[in-house]
Amino acid sequence: MPIFRRSRAAPDDRLVVAGLGNPGERYAGTRHNTGAMVIQELLQRTNSKLKSHKSGCLIAEVVVAQHKVTLARTTSFMNESGRPLGQLMRFYKVEPSHLIVVHDEIDIPFGEVRIKLDGGTAGHNGLKSIVNHLGTKDFVRVRLGVGRPRGRQDAVSHVLDGFSAAERKELPFPISVGADAVERIIEAGLERAMNEVNTRADQ
């Protein structure tokens, strides 16, 4: 697990960065698609475009800080994310320890971004599917806060809804920070990135 054990991964080690979300215009601007939004930001930064892959993912092969990186998002619905992502990992012969999953997190306030290694899924169906298909929790998560629902709205309706008008104005900032967090993991290693990003969120 070079990205975890050392400050930098070996240059030949491929990393997969997967942004979770649901397909189609209906879900494009919803809270559940913040992971996919970060992938879009990374595509813009690397001047890349997604293309279809036989795994069932849309991918772009890019270079970040001299590391080979595959940016990916699945074409399946959120609760089936694990199957195509698992197929992509097997295609590239990438271990779960070289996977970074970017996703929404209701237990984190809107606008905050945190990095985490392994742990539970906290009811997130996309993460559950990935854990089930990979057979391990040993992958990095970049978690974008979307906050808990207010009033009587349930969590599912909350994440499948669009952002409020006020949130939409602020949304580019956490999306940018999420992309920064991914780049920092690749550039400086997990431990240093966690210290920087998570400490900033706590301030």
Span 22-34, mean pLDDT?
93
> What is the Cα–Cα distance from 83 to 74, expressed in whole angstroms?
9
Q: Is the pLDDT score of 1 beyond 80?
A: no
How many angstroms separate the Cα of 25 from the Cα of each of 6, 29, 33, 68, 162?
40, 8, 11, 30, 12
CATH of the domain at 32: 3.40.50.1470
Token digits of residue 143: 């978690």
**Residue type for position 195:** N
Looking at the domain assignment, is residue 49 inside a domain? yes
Span 2-19, mean pLDDT?
64
Return mean pLDDT, the chain.
90
Looking at the domain assignment, is residue 172 inside a domain? yes
> What is the Cα–Cα distance from 201 to 96, expressed in whole angstroms?
26
Looking at the domain assignment, is residue 104 inside a domain? yes
Token digits of residue 195: 């210290």
User: What are the catalytic residues?
Assistant: 32
- Domain of residue 20 covers 11-61+68-186
Structure confidence at residue 155 (pLDDT): 83
Question: Is the pTM for the entire model greater than 0.85?
Answer: yes
Looking at the domain assignment, is residue 1 inside a domain? no
Looking at the domain assignment, is residue 75 inside a domain? yes
- Kindly give, in sequence order, each residue whose CB lies less than 8 Å from that of residue 136, ignoring residues fewer than 6 positions away: 96, 118
Structure confidence at residue 55 (pLDDT): 96
The answer to whether 99 touches 93, Cβ cutoff 8 Å, is no
Query: Between residues 13 and 3, which one has the greater pLDDT?
Result: 13
